[in-house]
């Protein structure tokens, strides 16, 4: 099939960007969306035009690197998958596809479709962990954990840190990302000791990074490729108020 692809081109974080239109020919339905971009880029290179910069690595939906805003939706028209898992069989001959980077002031554009998601790392650095050093920990089976809790913790832990939740949210809130980590560790016995301090520190960092407030519109969870539940945000809020009430912490 033949397609028209309109792509955001921006030389660097300081310059202005604009949409540029390209024709892509002979696209096979078995191609992944990023493979379609590979074809487009090879074509640009052959014409002496600079290829489009975009983030990607694993190309199987797990590293969280790919991040395209396709036809007004983070990771494209299908739910539960990342951009790299989207295949061209989801489009048809003659379609026009509009591709933009994640838009959020906390995620500045670096070049073309590449954005800086360093804010996510800094939120984790602030408290998204259990403070144990290597060595001297108890036997793995010393503390039984109910399968239900372990499975729920796992579901929250599957977040890939892609940022689609932020890109989809009209407030550019990072709540779903933060709540996923808080929920995971709040469900596990290992996370209990620092439970209150963790939520306070992570929420404080989230606010410092300039993400917007959550108004419960739920777009984040709908567009999340790992289908992280919106319930985690309720958990985070509960954890946060409990921590504040206990006032033992920062």
CA–CA separation, 143 vs 189, rounded Å? 8
* Per-position x/- string for 190-229, each x denoting binding to ligand SF4 as judged by CB under 6 A, each - no binding: ----------------------------------xxx-x-
Q: Applying CB under 6 A, does 86 fall inside the site for ligand SF4? A: no
Q: Applying CB under 8 A, does 198 fall inside the site for other proteins? A: no
**Residue closer to other proteins (CB basis): 89 or 238:** 89
Helix or strand run (H / E) with residue 19: strand 17-24
Q: Applying CB under 6 A, does 165 fall inside the site for ligand SF4? A: yes
Contact 5, 24 (CB under 8 A): yes
Give the residue, chosen from 37, 102, 177, 211, that forms a contact with ligand SF4 under the rule CB under 6 A.
Answer: 177
Buried b (16+ CB within 10 A) or exposed e, 24-39: beebeeebbbbbbbeb
Q: Applying CB under 8 A, does 56 fall inside the site for other proteins? A: yes
Give the residue, chosen from 2, 20, 42, 207, that forms a contact with other proteins under the rule CB under 8 A.
Answer: 42
- Cβ at position 73, least distance to ligand FES in Å: 15
**Interaction with ligand SF4 in 128-157: which residues (CB under 6 A)?**
none
If you compute the radius of gyration of the chain from its CA atoms, what whole number of angstroms results?
A: 20
* Per-position x/- string for 108-147, each x denoting binding to other proteins as judged by CB under 8 A, each - no binding: --xx--x-xxx-xx--xxxxxxxxxxxx-xxxxx-xxxxx
* Per-position x/- string for 68-87, each x denoting binding to other proteins as judged by CB under 8 A, each - no binding: ------------xx---x-x
**Interaction with other proteins in 162-191: which residues (CB under 8 A)?**
184-185, 188, 190-191
**Interaction with ligand SF4 in 228-247: which residues (CB under 6 A)?**
228
**Residue closer to other proteins (CB basis): 129 or 241:** 129
Helix locations, the chain, DSSP H = 33-46, 118-127, 147-157, 164-168, 175-187, 195-208, 219-223, 231-246
- Cβ at position 180, least distance to ligand FES in Å: 16
Helix or strand run (H / E) with residue 24: strand 17-24
CB within 8 Å of 47: residues ≥ 6 apart:
none
Contact 176, 230 (CB under 8 A): yes
CA–CA separation, 65 vs 243, rounded Å? 33
Count residues contacting other proteins (CB under 8 A)?
77
- Cβ at position 105, least distance to other proteins in Å: 17
96-100 vs 3-10, strand pairing mode: parallel
Nearest to 6 by CA among 96, 67, 115, 87: 96
Residues that bind ligand FES (CB under 6 A): 56-59, 61-66, 82-84
């Amino acid at each position: 099939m033949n397609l028209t692809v309109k792509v955001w081109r921006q030389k660097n974080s300081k310059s202005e960007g604009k949409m540029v239109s390209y024709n892509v020919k002979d696209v096979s339905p078995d191609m992944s969306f990023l493979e379609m971009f590979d074809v487009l880029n090879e074509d640009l290179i052959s014409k002496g035009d600079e290829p489009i910069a975009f983030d990607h690595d694993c190309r199987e939906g797990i590293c969280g690197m790919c991040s395209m805003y396709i036809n007004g939706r983070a990771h494209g028209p299908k739910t539960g998958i990342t951009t790299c898992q989207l295949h061209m069989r989801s489009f048809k001959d003659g379609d026009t596809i509009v591709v933009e980077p994640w838009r959020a002031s906390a995620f500045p554009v670096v070049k073309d479709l590449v954005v800086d998601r360093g804010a996510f790392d800094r939120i984790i650095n602030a408290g998204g962990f259990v403070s144990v050093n290597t060595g001297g920990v108890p036997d793995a089976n010393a503390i039984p954990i109910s399968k239900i809790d372990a499975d729920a913790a796992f579901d929250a832990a599957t977040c890939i840190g892609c940022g689609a939740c932020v890109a989809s949210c009209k407030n550019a809130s990072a709540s779903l990302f933060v709540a996923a980590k808080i929920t995971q560790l709040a469900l596990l016995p290992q996370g209990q000791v620092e439970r209150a301090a963790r939520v306070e520190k992570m929420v404080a960092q989230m606010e410092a990074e300039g993400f917007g407030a959550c108004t419960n519109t739920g777009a984040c969870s709908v567009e999340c490729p790992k289908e992280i539940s919106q319930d985690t945000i309720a958990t985070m809020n509960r954890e946060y108020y409990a921590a504040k009430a206990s006032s033992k912490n920062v």
